[in-house]
Amino acid sequence: MNTILVTGGAGYIGSFMTRKLLDEGYNVVVADSLERGNRDVIDDRATFVLGNFLDKEFVRNLFSNHSIDAVFHFASYISMAESMEKPGRYFENNVVSAMNILENIRNGNVPFIFSSTAGVYGNPIQIPIPEEHPKYPTNPYGESKLMVEQILSWFHKIYNLPYASLRYFNASGAASDGSLGEDHHPESHIIPNVIRAAIDNTPFTLFGQDYDTQDGTAVRDYIHVYDLVDAHLLALRKLSHKTLGLTYNVGTGKGYSNKEVYEMVKIVSGKDITLRVEKRRPGDASVLVADVTKIQNELEFRPQFSDLQTIVQTAWTYHSNALRSNNEE
């Protein structure tokens, strides 16, 4: 298995996946529309193809022009809040683009590793959350990911398509040297937003301090992007010689509260960040923590970088470097 297609390789996780695959000796084709990606983060060792996966002709040509041995699919919209405002765009972009790819690989025994989300579970009735937990997404983003999972299940049953759906909890962190990191526009994730408040000397807004948790703030399971891409490689190796259909939570099984994140950014940055508390956002669960028993047992997945201090320190290094670069331009 030599050539891997990374869709959305100009985005946060896709850029890390591309670098990891290249370092492991794979050939990588990155395909991205650059609608929300950044051309500058694509590794120069990869082959870059510009195009949109909603364009069926583009997708057909992509697979005709490149001999693809496996697909890592990251190309999707990711904002839960935006999906509530533009549900049609989310269903079209996230579901139809995946369908267009699957139609081109369904008979070729090409493994498809799918970037899914813990958002498929909705508000949990069991903590930690196992893979068999009921699926009740609370927004079109989570629903779109669940729809692709269901499509994959049918393609596996009908065409014997090998696939792995990886349900991320909270992807976080950055490269230890600050060369790659999280840079969404707009940014909805707490760690980069607290860091931005520290850098800009502006207040950080925390939504909700009345949750049923130890300190009253919501608790989330954070997985460092280094560990996340390692999980993808483990899934690929599991599928290399078997036509399996796999689904895994990707997290640590440990949660950190929003206030713990805020305090850690203060420690790492050395700055006293003003905290502003507003009422909780509709639909936010108190605790979202993964049951990682399955991925640990079947893939021997052991996160190495996902303690909160490492996550925040690497993210701080990235954002500090980005600020210096912008100031020098």
Active-site positions read: 141
Residues 48-67 as b/e (b if ≥16 CB within 10 A, e otherwise) read bbebbbeeeebbeebbeeee
The tokens describing 243, both together, are 């036509």
Provide the Cα torsion 177, 13, 189, 133; round to 10°.
Answer: -130
Nearest of 177, 175, 233 to residue 22 by alpha carbon = 233
Local structure of residue 120 (DSSP, 8 states): G
Given a contact cutoff of 8 angstroms between Cβ atoms, the answer to whether 97 and 151 are in contact is no
Omega cis (within 30) before 128: yes
The tokens describing 196, both together, are 């931005």
